[in-house]
Amino acid sequence: MFDDFMTNIVTICKQDGARAEGIKACIQDRIHIDEALNKNMPPIVAGDVIEHKQANGVVEHYEVIDPCYYEDLHIGNHYQCKVQKRSVVKRQQPSIHNIFHVNATQANIATDNAKIAARQILNIEQSNEIEKLFESLLEVVKNNTLENQKAIESAISEMKQAVGKSSFGEKYNAFMQSVANHMTVFMPLMPQLTALLQAAPIC
């Protein structure tokens, strides 16, 4: 009965490391999954992660807060999972999606009507993803013919050294200027870079 609405394909990541791929779902405020359409699907429990790869290649991760399982003779047994997106860092700008799992442990939010001193202490759980990100940036430079290759490589190196520091924004802007004519090849990595920019300490 839900078949027409299940237009998203997701992977259920269990807490023991098991993965159930090719699950039909409908991602809205909650994630709807019909048990009848996914017969080999393991039970979903709180703490599981639902992974969704978008058409642009960006992977979203949703942590299940409450699986909300319903037994219904008329429309079939199904889940209406309450989830929390793990790939969003919020600031005063619109939400930015990324592949990191970032937890804000302290944040004072500035408003339009008052200037409030703000500082975010962010815990990036998968720090090795940062290393992979900058390796990927250098790989893009290596695999493409860019007229200012050395300048871009230098900008990437300086930006990497500034991760987690208040100077990161300056190094990010310098990198963006150096790749202004080559944004297309770097676009797949921009969500991750933007997430680091959002996580940078505020002076």
- C-alpha–C-alpha distance, residues 201 and 15, integer Å: 32
Q: What is the CATH number of domain 3-85?
A: 2.40.10
- C-alpha–C-alpha distance, residues 151 and 173, integer Å: 13
pLDDT over 60 at 92, yes or no: no
Give the three-state DSSP class for 137.
helix
Q: Supply the mean pLDDT for the chain.
A: 78
- Could you tell me the pLDDT band of residue 87, with boundaries at 50, 70 and 90? low
Residue 8 CB neighbours (<10 A): 18
Nearest CA to 27 out of 91, 124, 55 is that of 55
Nearest CA to 31 out of 14, 15, 11, 16 is that of 11
pLDDT of residue 197: 81
Gap between the terminal Cα atoms of the chain: 54
Give per-residue pLDDT as tens, 60-84: 999 999 999 988 766 678 898 999 9
Mean pLDDT of 139-157: 91
pLDDT of residue 93: 45
The contacts of residue 80 (CB under 8 Å, 6+ apart) are: 30, 31, 32, 68, 70
Give per-residue pLDDT as tens, 12-64: 999 988 999 999 999 988 999 988 888 888 999 999 999 999 989 889 999 99
- Where exactly does CATH 2.40.10 map onto the chain? 3-85
